[in-house]
């Protein structure tokens, strides 16, 4: 199936979503995501950051779709034409979504362990407005510990539901979920209870913000002062393929290996994540190739490749400001 995204055509198999197709083209045209996670079934569609405009439904039925669609949950049709970064309305709508996501966010980045690898930070930086128009008190919840190793800081949650899907799809007894509704909705166990499960730590990796953080890493270091190293071990519970975040010879944190979209390549078990904190526990494979997701990579991917030039040319023709330049 042929689909054109921001003027760039690509051939994709049937069943591919617009988002997947855009990712195949490259990060220049890939919509940002907050709730979609390719390895979690039924994820996506909620946050609305990946919305795009379909200007031609398909070759057979060229009618444009009346409303912007969530690219992560919309399958491409043959001959579909999609506008993302070349459509001003889409960028304006996305700015609106970012503002909504930030309305109740505490913006406590200076003391948040997620800072530096937070999807909301990246999104706000790339797509948000510089000031807030929200003047009311923000929603507040008590911090709670869910299990020995995980802290839930509900104030920061943006309701992506990934952690619930992880528990539902990776473990056999989900004990936390979404309580209440509307802007009073919260992620909770409801009962004072601990999450005790070999894979519960993965909720930390899938959380796009600092709502679920690793207590063993709490206030140990800013992430950009730690060095990512790929390592592995013989683990009975999981693949044992992890990423160590080191300072000198010290292992401060263990996470799954994440791809360029910030998604875990393979989920890891709690033993690997929380209990193997010595270098001698691991076989070091070498320094991680820096991905797009982290601030550490800032200077590594900003080069102007051919795709970028192509997109910028279109934007210029449409009278766009360079969205990557800040005033």
CB closer to another protein, 148 vs 222: 148
Q: Tell which positions 185-224 bind another protein, by CB under 8 A.
A: 185-186, 188-193
The two tokens of residue 223 are: 């992430």
Backbone angles phi, psi at 290, to 5 degrees: -65, 130
CA distance 31 to 301: 17
Least CB distance to another protein at residue 296 (A): 28
Helix (H, G, I), strand (E, B) or coil at 96: helix
Residue 178 binds to another protein (criterion: CB under 8 A): yes
Residue 58 binds to another protein (criterion: CB under 8 A): no
Residue that the structure tokens 């800013």 belong to: 222
Residue 159 binds to another protein (criterion: CB under 8 A): yes
Residue 14 binds to another protein (criterion: CB under 8 A): no
Residue 134 binds to another protein (criterion: CB under 8 A): yes
Question: Which one among 144, 233, 307, 312 touches another protein, defined by CB under 8 A?
Answer: 144
Residue 68 binds to another protein (criterion: CB under 8 A): yes
Neighbours of 110 (CB within 10 A): 7
CB closer to another protein, 133 vs 326: 133
CA distance 308 to 111: 34
CB 161 within 8 A of CB 178: yes
CA dihedral 74, 121, 297, 323 (to 10 degrees): 70
CA distance 291 to 296: 8
Q: Which stretch binds another protein (CB under 8 A): 55-63, 181-189, 240-248, 312-320?
A: 181-189
CB 66 within 8 A of CB 43: no
Question: Which one among 104, 121, 255, 270 touches another protein, defined by CB under 8 A?
Answer: 104
Give strand pairing partners of 2: 11
Q: Which stretch binds another protein (CB under 8 A): 23-31, 64-72, 217-225, 314-322?
A: 64-72
CB closer to another protein, 70 vs 203: 70
Residue 129 binds to another protein (criterion: CB under 8 A): no
Question: Which one among 13, 15, 133, 326 touches another protein, defined by CB under 8 A?
Answer: 133
Least CB distance to another protein at residue 141 (A): 7
Q: Which stretch binds another protein (CB under 8 A): 17-25, 67-75, 79-87, 314-322?
A: 67-75
Residue 10 binds to another protein (criterion: CB under 8 A): no
Q: How many residues does the chain have?
A: 327
Give the helix/strand (H/E) hosting 55.
Answer: strand 51-56
CB 187 within 8 A of CB 163: yes
Question: How wide is the angle at C-alpha 298 spanned by C-alphas 23 and 313, nearest 5°?
Answer: 55
Least CB distance to another protein at residue 52 (A): 12
Interaction site with another protein (CB under 8 A):
45-48, 51, 66-68, 70, 73, 93, 96-97, 99-101, 103-104, 133-134, 136, 141-142, 144, 158-159, 173-186, 188-193
């Amino acid at each position: 199936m042929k689909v054109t995204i921001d003027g760039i055509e690509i051939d994709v198999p049937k069943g591919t979503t617009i988002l997947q197709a855009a990712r195949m083209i490259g990060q220049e045209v890939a919509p940002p995501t907050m709730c979609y996670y390719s390895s979690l079934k039924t994820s996506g569609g909620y946050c609305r950051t990946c919305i795009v405009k379909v200007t031609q439904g398909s070759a057979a039925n060229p009618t444009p779709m009346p409303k912007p669609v969530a690219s992560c949950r919309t399958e491409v049709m043959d001959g579909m034409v999609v506008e993302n970064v070349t459509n001003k309305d889409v960028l304006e709508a996305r700015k609106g979504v970012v503002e909504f996501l930030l309305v109740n966010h505490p913006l406590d980045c200076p003391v948040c362990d997620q800072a530096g690898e937070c999807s909301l930070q990246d999104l706000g930086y790339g797509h948000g407005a510089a000031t807030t128009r929200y003047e009311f008190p923000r929603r507040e919840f008590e911090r709670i510990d869910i299990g020995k190793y995980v802290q839930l800081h509900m104030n920061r949650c943006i309701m992506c539901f990934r952690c619930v899907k992880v528990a539902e799809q990776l473990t056999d007894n989900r004990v936390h979920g979404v309580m209440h509704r509307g802007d009073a909705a919260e992620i909770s166990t409801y009962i004072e209870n601990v999450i005790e499960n070999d894979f519960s730590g993965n909720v930390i990796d899938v959380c796009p913000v600092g709502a679920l953080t690793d207590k063993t890493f709490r206030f140990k270091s800013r992430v950009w002062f730690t060095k990512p190293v790929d390592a592995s071990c013989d683990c009975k519970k999981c693949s044992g393929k992890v990423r160590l975040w080191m300072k000198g010879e010290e292992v401060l944190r263990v996470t799954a290996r994440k791809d360029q979209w910030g998604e875990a390549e393979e989920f890891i078990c709690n033993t690997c994540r929380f209990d193997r904190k010595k270098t001698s526990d691991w076989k070091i494979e070498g320094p991680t190739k820096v991905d797009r997701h982290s601030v550490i990579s800032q200077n590594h991917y900003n080069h102007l490749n051919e795709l970028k030039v192509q997109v910028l040319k279109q934007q210029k023709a449409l009278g766009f400001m360079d969205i990557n330049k800040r005033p």
